Amino acid sequence: MGISERKLREKESRIKQIRDSGAALFYKKGYVATTIEDIAAAAEISKGTIYLYFKSKDDLYYSLVEPSLDKLSKKLIKIAGMKEIDPEVRIKNVVDATYEFYDKDPDAYHLVSRYEASIFSNLLSRDKLDHLKDLMRSNLNQLEIVISDGVIQGRFRKLDPRMTSIIIWNTFMGIIQFQENRLEEGKTDYRRTTIDGAVEIILRGIRKR
């Protein structure tokens, strides 16, 4: 019993090693430029071992992107659904949740934010592709719902909720990407504060006075 437990633990840790190395490399170099050999080396295992746990390179990639997207998606749906809460607060909550997701698992976040449908269109089945697209869309939809609520409740100006959600979403992604580059160059970490500043500006921009 102890043995089988340990085996299970080891197997899971092996999978985790592969997933972690894969996520980090896919994020750093992109799908095409990352080789299975790279991932194996980073995980300190052999090439073959990866194929014990993942059917193929794109299977590994999909298995990284999908649950991450799914997790974030579920989180945002929950937050956006709290109709009783003030829309401004809900927007902040969405941003907080996304930042927390990013903070806890940056590689997963990057896979999500860097996801490019075009790369996958040749690799994944129609089903999987549509599923990923749906998840991506869902995140934006949640923001849209909250903004829409705010407009209806007269808290926000009469503006296009769709457009506004796009602005917020891409501002978030862009800021993270930008501040990370600065971080790499040894500069101070302004990620969280820049995000907060951006939210402040945008809320001010959409708020009804």
Cβ(144)–Cβ(161) below 8 Å? yes
Give the ranges where 115-190 is alpha helix by DSSP (H): 117-120, 126-152, 161-184
Q: Quote the least distance from Cβ 84 to a copy of itself, whole Å.
A: 26
* 165 Cβ contact partners less than 8 Å away, ≥ 6 residues apart: 140, 141, 143, 144, 147
Q: Is 56 left (phi over 0), alpha (psi -120 to 50) or beta?
A: beta
Q: Which residues bind DNA (CB under 7 A)?
A: 3, 7, 10-11, 14, 33-37, 45-49, 51-53, 56-58
Q: Quote the least distance from Cβ 10 to DNA, whole Å.
A: 6
Q: Quote the least distance from Cβ 11 to DNA, whole Å.
A: 4
Select the span of 23-31, 64-72, 77-85, 97-105 touching a copy of itself (CB under 8 A).
23-31
Q: Is 175 in the site for a copy of itself (CB under 8 A)?
A: yes
Site string for a copy of itself, 38-77 (x = CB under 8 A): ----------------------------------------
DSSP 8-class letter at 207:
B
Select the span of 15-23, 40-48, 98-106, 174-182 touching a copy of itself (CB under 8 A).
174-182
Cβ(14)–Cβ(46) below 8 Å? no
Q: Is 158 in the site for a copy of itself (CB under 8 A)?
A: no
Other CB atoms within 10 A of residue 176 CB: 20
Q: How many CA atoms lie within 13 A of 202 on its CB side?
A: 23
Residues at the interface with a copy of itself (CB under 8 A) = 28-30, 32-33, 116-119, 159-160, 163-164, 166-167, 169-171, 173-175, 177-179, 181, 190, 193-194, 197-198, 200-206
